[in-house]
Amino acid sequence: MLKIYHAPNTRSLRLIWLCEELGIPYDLQTLKFTAEDLQSEKYLALHPLGKVPSIDEDGLVLNESGAIAQYLMAKHGKGRLEPEPGTAEYGKYLQWFHFAEATFMVPLGNIAQHTFVRPEDQRIPQVAAESVESAKKILGILDKELAGKDFICGKALTAADIMLGYDLFLCKMFGLLSDDYPNVGSYFNRLASRDAFKKATA
């Protein structure tokens, strides 16, 4: 049985969302987003940095939300939630899938770190302010990309939307989803109205 190590409102929600969309059964192991849980000896044996998510599927332990999503799709997806591998559409899909974690999450992670995650005396306001500007630049790019589209790859939901959906969940939490990005706003509402998203963020 697949175990998902999860903390509320963190990247692990991507995996709950994915499993819900694909109907993959899972056993949710919910941790508190505290050093007590994440830095415990037991959890460090699964994730040496003490971060979420991790999975344990019959002894196979994996970290990294994007890698885990790709693994679960390859194993259980039967071609769902992604374009045909090797096509131009698949190339675009991979680009947005990885953009979510490798590029967009950089400023969002910094905003989180320098506004509420780190102890107050370790926060650098300048880093938070610059990261807000970077995130806004990315939201502007996404807004253009989403014009006339239901999802980032066109008409159908893909796992790239699940990866990006978490970034936008944070943007909403940080008050960044303003009227300056109408296509992003309606895209996020479309994602957030899905039962699988609601389950992942409950």
Question: Judged by CB, which is closer to ligand GSH: 51, or 172?
Answer: 51
Question: Judged by CB, which is closer to ligand GSH: 57, or 101?
Answer: 101
Structural contact between residues 12 and 66, judged by C-beta atoms closer than 8 angstroms: no
> Judged by CB under 6 A, does residue 101 bind ligand GSH?
yes
Residues 4-43 binding ligand GSH (CB under 6 A) are 10-11, 38
Structural contact between residues 66 and 53, judged by C-beta atoms closer than 8 angstroms: no
Question: Judged by CB, which is closer to ligand GSH: 51, or 199?
Answer: 51
Question: Judged by CB, which is closer to ligand GSH: 65, or 131?
Answer: 65
**Exactly one of 51, 92, 98, 136 binds ligand GSH (CB under 6 A); which one?**
51
CA 61 vs. chain centroid, Å, equals: 19
**Exactly one of 37, 56, 64, 143 binds ligand GSH (CB under 6 A); which one?**
64
| Closest separation in Å from C-beta 101 to ligand GSH | 5
| Closest separation in Å from C-beta 72 to ligand GSH | 13
Burial letters 69-88, b for 16+ CB under 10 A, else e: bbbbbeebbeeebbbeeeee
Name the helix (H) or strand (E) containing 6: strand 2-6
Strand spans (E) along 123-187? none
SS3 154: strand
Residues interacting with ligand GSH, by CB under 6 A?
10-11, 38, 50-53, 64-66, 101
